[in-house]
């Protein structure tokens, strides 16, 4: 994999270079020390991956990533000194197309090995997802005869979700004959950038789910406010602040439960990578209504919390690696049409 390292100092670049080139068979094709250099190096080298800090001061991080994804799309991992202390910039980067964020590896401290292991786990997931970008222009041969407008796929995700969602959607056929709804824990101000990015990086039509919309086949609806998305009794979307004490916003559980109550034809529900337990109870409710339920496996999850919670309570009928989930969804929908 061809990589560009964009960090504040040459010392940080060298730490990353050493980790990535010792036994991992990757090539560092460029270094960048500013937002402007990132744009220039990506334009020249067309990397497979960009490992980028968010602390450059010459250009806003979202502007840099938007430009990179427009002209030189690649898998992007935010690698910064402290994800927590840089939270607003990290969220901005995730909203503009970064797949995940991790604290930078360190040397010479008591916990350096722990830092490096966490970094490598995130990087291994990046390796798996990089194919999503290199194959983005290839035509899809998958055909699903799901002309039933009642066929629906519901996807929930949190930490590490943007890249995982893109990987699944990119394996769907163009103009699929089913509805898809995505619930990703994400601040409202980043939703517009996220839907634009998913439109660019997949073959799907991704739009914001609006109050009063009736789900239509062939469209991917993205929950885009800090309130919870529900499907109502009349078959339309509605946002609600309740339950107000639910810290996960928008909540996967709230939407999954509303589907169990109001969507008459069983579909497919998926829980991807994410921290916490949101979605597990809602997925169990769907399973009990004869939905097919899938949880992402631990190896390919950036954070295994949400899938693990669903598996623990028996809500997941399948536990699959990320690159196997789309095929399972399509097969399940085909089988349900043929019944």
Q: Of 227, 278, 297, 301, which one is the catalytic site residue?
A: 278
- For CA atoms 336, 337, 338, 339, give the dihedral sign: positive
Distance CA 172, CA 331 (A): 11
Within 13 Å of residue 47, how many CA atoms lie on the same side as its CB? 27
Distance CA 175, CA 144 (A): 10
Q: Which residues contact 108 (CB under 8 A, 6 or more apart)?
A: none
257: phi then psi, degrees, rounded to nearest 5: -65, -40
Q: Is 185 a catalytic residue?
A: yes
Only one residue has tokens 């041969």, namely 141
C-alpha dist (Å) from residue 1 to 49, 66, 163, 213, 303 = 7, 22, 17, 42, 23
Q: Is 278 a catalytic residue?
A: yes
Q: Of 158, 251, 258, 301, which one is the catalytic site residue?
A: 158
Q: In the chain, which residue ranges form alpha helices assigned H by DSSP?
A: 10-21, 35-45, 61-71, 87-95, 112-134, 161-169, 191-201, 252-262, 280-287, 305-312, 322-338
Per the CB < 8 A criterion, the answer to whether 268 and 329 are in contact is yes
C-alpha closest to that of 298 among 277, 279, 272: 272
Helix (H) or strand (E) holding 6: strand 2-6
Whether the upstream peptide bond of residue 330 has omega within 30° of 0, thus cis, is: no
Active site residues: 158, 185, 278
């Amino acid at each position: 994999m061809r990589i560009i390292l964009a960090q504040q100092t040459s010392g940080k670049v060298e730490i990353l270079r050493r980790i990535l080139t010792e036994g991992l068979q990757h090539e560092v094709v460029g270094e960048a020390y500013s937002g402007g250099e990132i744009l220039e190096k990506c334009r020249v080298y067309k990397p497979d991956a960009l490992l980028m800090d968010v602390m450059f001061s010459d250009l806003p991080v979202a502007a840099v990533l938007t430009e990179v994804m427009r002209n030189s799309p690649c898998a992007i991992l935010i690698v910064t000194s402290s994800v927590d202390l840089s939270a607003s910039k990290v969220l901005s980067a995730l909203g503009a197309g970064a797949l995940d964020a991790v604290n930078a590896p360190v040397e010479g401290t008591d916990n350096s090995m722990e830092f490096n292991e966490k970094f490598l786990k995130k990087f291994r997931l990046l390796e798996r997802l990089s194919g999503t970008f290199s194959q983005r222009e290839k035509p899809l041969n998958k055909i699903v005869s799901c002309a039933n407008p009642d066929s629906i796929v519901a996807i929930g995700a949190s930490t590490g979700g943007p890249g995982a969602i893109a990987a699944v959607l990119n394996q769907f056929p163009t103009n699929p004959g089913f509805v898809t709804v995505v619930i990703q824990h994400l601040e409202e101000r980043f939703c517009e950038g996220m839907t634009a990015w998913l439109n660019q990086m997949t073959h799907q039509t991704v739009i914001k789910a609006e109050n009063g919309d009736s789900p239509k086949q062939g469209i991917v609806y993205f929950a885009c406010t800090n309130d919870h998305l529900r499907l109502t009794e009349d078959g339309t979307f509605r946002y609600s602040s309740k339950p107000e004490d639910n810290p996960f916003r928008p909540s996967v559980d709230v939407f999954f439960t509303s589907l169990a109550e109001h969507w008459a034809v069983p579909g497919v529900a998926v829980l991807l990578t994410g921290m916490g337990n949101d979605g597990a109870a809602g997925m169990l409710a769907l399973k009990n209504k004869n939905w097919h339920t899938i949880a992402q496996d631990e190896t390919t999850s950036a954070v295994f919390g949400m899938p693990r919670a669903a598996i623990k309570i028996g809500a997941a009928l399948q536990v699959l690696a990320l690159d196997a989930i789309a095929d399972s969804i399509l097969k399940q929908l085909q089988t349900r049409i043929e019944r």
